[in-house]
Amino acid sequence: MGVEGATLVPLIDKMEKEGLLKRKPDSKDRRVNRIYLTQKADSLWNSMTECAIYIRKVSTKDISEDKLETTLDTLHKISKNLSTYFEVNVPAEVSRKNRG
């Protein structure tokens, strides 16, 4: 998905605080926490799915499947190009800014 751990942890913390998930220690590796959705999250799933379907329907109205597929392919290639470039060519000033 391309989400860094530093971005993901606060999101998981918030979801846990809101009762949407629980962390449980892994029985085989003490360094690992497993994440499980709660009943509250399960009950929200259907409405979130319906909302996503509706948004997709509205946003892609009058756009052919071929054009959507081409757009997605292009966006994936752009994402891959940027990921590859920044893995190898991160300028020192950008790298320093990200360290805090």
CB count in 10 Å sphere of residue 33 = 13
- pLDDT at residue number 85: 85
* Domain shared by 45 and 70, yes or no: no
* Domain shared by 74 and 90, yes or no: yes
- pLDDT at residue number 81: 92
* Domain shared by 50 and 81, yes or no: no
- pLDDT at residue number 2: 64
Site of tokens 């990921």:
83
* Domain shared by 55 and 72, yes or no: no
- pLDDT at residue number 11: 92
- pLDDT at residue number 50: 94
Number of structural domains (the chain) is 2
Contacts with 33 (C-beta within 8 Å, 6 or more apart), sequence order: 23, 24, 25, 26
Q: Give the chain's residues under pLDDT 50.
A: 100
- Stated pTM of the model: 0.55
The CATH number that applies at residue 42 is: 1.10.10.10
* Domain shared by 46 and 80, yes or no: no
